[in-house]
Amino acid sequence: MNTSTTTVKAPLEIAPPARKARVANPGWFLVSPSVALLLLWMIVPLGMTVYFSMIRYNLLYPGENQFVGLENFTYFLTDSGFMPGATNTLLLVGSVLLISIVLGVLISALLEASEFFGRGIVRVLLISPFFIMPTVGALIWKNLIFHPVSGILASVWKLFGAQPVDWLAHYPLLSIIIIVSWQWLPFAILILMTAMQSLDQEQKEAARLDGAGPIAIFWHLTLPHLARPIAVVLMIETIFLLSVFAEIFTTTNGGPGYASTNLAYLIYNQALVQFDVGMASAGGLIAVVIANIAAIILVRMIGKNLTDKN
């Protein structure tokens, strides 16, 4: 009895000094300046955005800044461009994610399975569009590919005797999806191709010895191995695709009408075209809420995926 009593009490006597040691640890004091600077960096712009969203702040009427409460949020949500902007945002994000993941997996698997001269150069060329600035990439597609007179597609159409298509005028959202997919597909290829190189080759050899074909190996070995990288690509691309702006501004200006307007461009239009900073601030907060909801869902999906794999 005495021995068991001593064994039970020992941790209780050691715990308070351990807690005191953690409190006395100077680590929290050393990191507090950077944490405070980071909080200040985030809180000040967010606080100003909340403040502007609660007042009537129009640059054309600088003296009229009365408090309006949630009126700006109501106006933004009932604006004629909100539903088209939200729908276009969902279509843009979903389409680019689907194209990036499907083509990224297929291209990465093809490169990993093929042995040919210059494969390293092909890999570099496939990844290079990701390092081009969005504005430059949009200008390339607008003037060199989609242009109805001097573009590459117009020349191909004329070669077969067909009438060239003005892509940015007739298919604006599809054109934006193609441009953004071209920019983000290399990112998916980079992540997935790196992940494929870490796949255990002994498992593939064992599967081949058991009679498994290339499709069976890809379906039962490669795809399960790519579950985590696909989840990472899904999360990172979603966060960035929700704020696509430069491609739309450079090519279609959100038109015709609201055909290619997303939430980011709609907020820009409210702030710097209509000069309504209050409504634009309200729209920015709504966009932040939507982005955080998407991030939370994706983080939970990735966390569940990692837990299931472990």
One-letter amino acid for residue 176 of the chain: I
Residue 200 — φ and ψ, nearest 5°?
Answer: -65, 115
For residue range 183-204, list pLDDT tens digits in order: 999 999 989 988 888 777 777 7
Cα–Cα distance for residue pair 187/100, rounded to 1 Å = 8
Residue whose token pair is 């795809």: 223
Cα–Cα distance for residue pair 96/176, rounded to 1 Å = 10
Q: Is the CB of residue 111 less than 8 Å from the CB of residue 149?
A: no
| pTM for the whole structure | 0.82
- Strands (DSSP E) contained in 137-280 are none
Residue 96 has a pLDDT of 94
Residue 195 has a pLDDT of 86
Residue 187 has a pLDDT of 92
For residue range 101-142, list pLDDT tens digits in order: 999 999 988 887 777 787 788 888 888 888 889 999 999 999
DSSP SS3 for 148: coil
Task: Name the nearest CA neighbour of 173 among 264, 248, 266.
Answer: 248
Enclosing H/E stretch for 193: helix 172-197
Residue 22 has a pLDDT of 55
In a 10 Å sphere around its CB, with 0-12 CB exposed, 13-18 middle and 19+ buried, how is residue 65 labelled? middle
For residue range 20-54, list pLDDT tens digits in order: 555 556 667 777 888 888 888 888 888 899 999 99
User: What is the greatest pairwise CA distance in the chain?
Assistant: 99
Alpha-carbon dihedral 240, 244, 250, 255, rounded to 10 degrees: 160
Residue 126 has a pLDDT of 85
Given a cut of 50, is residue 10 above it in pLDDT? no
For residue range 227-259, list pLDDT tens digits in order: 888 888 888 898 899 889 999 999 999 888 899
Tell me how crowded residue 114 is: count the other CB atoms within 10 A of its CB. Answer: 9
Given a cut of 50, is residue 15 above it in pLDDT? no
DSSP SS3 for 129: helix
